[in-house]
Amino acid sequence: MRTMAIDYGDARIGLAVSDLLGMFCGEAWTMEEWNMERAAKRIAGEAGKRDVGTLVLGLPKNMDGSEGPRAEKSRAFRELLIAESGLPVVLWDERRSSIEAHAILHANGKKEKIHRRSVDAVAASLILEGYLGSL
C-alpha cells in the first residue's frame, strides 16, 4: 500500500504519495482548499483513488521543539482525516520542510513567485521522504 504525506496550510495543501513499495515519492501536487472539513474529504478521496494505507501529516513545531497554534490546527485536522478516511494518520515533525523546499526550488532556478505554486508539494515530498526513511 502507498503512503500519503500532507503539508497542511490554510489556503494550500501539499500532497505527496509513495510508490507501491513505499520506498520513493511517486507523485506530488498542491490542492487549494480553505475549508478544513472539505479538505479532509478531498484528501480522503484522493487517498482512496491511490490505494493509500497510511497518511502522514506534517506537525509544525517551533525550532525549540515546542508546539504553537499551527500544531494545534494540525492535530485538529488529524482527527478530521481519521474520521473521513478511516486510515491511520501519523503526525510527523515538519520543522524546516518549507525552508528546505524553498531552497530546493531556488537551487533549481525557480523564481520566487513560482515557489508559491509548488513549495507545498515539495514540502510534502520532504515529509514523505523523511517518514519513509525512518521505517
- Could you say which architecture CATH assigns to the domain 2-134? 2-Layer Sandwich (3.30)
Residue 131 pLDDT > 90? yes
Look at 135 and 118; give whichever has higher pLDDT.
135
Residue 134's pLDDT band (boundaries 50, 70, 90)?
Answer: confident
C-alpha cell at 82: 481519521
12-18 β-sheet, strand order: 25-32, 12-18, 2-7, 52-59, 89-93
What's the pLDDT at 67? Answer: 74
Nearest-10 Cα torsion for 32, 36, 39, 40 = 160
Predicted local distance difference test score (pLDDT) of residue 122: 79
Model confidence pLDDT, tens digit, residues 15-53: 999 998 888 888 999 999 999 999 999 999 999 999 999
**76 — pLDDT class (breaks 50, 70, 90):** very high
What Cα–Cα distance (Å) separates residue 80 from each residue in 72, 111, 117? 13, 35, 25
pLDDT (0 to 100) of residue 81? 98
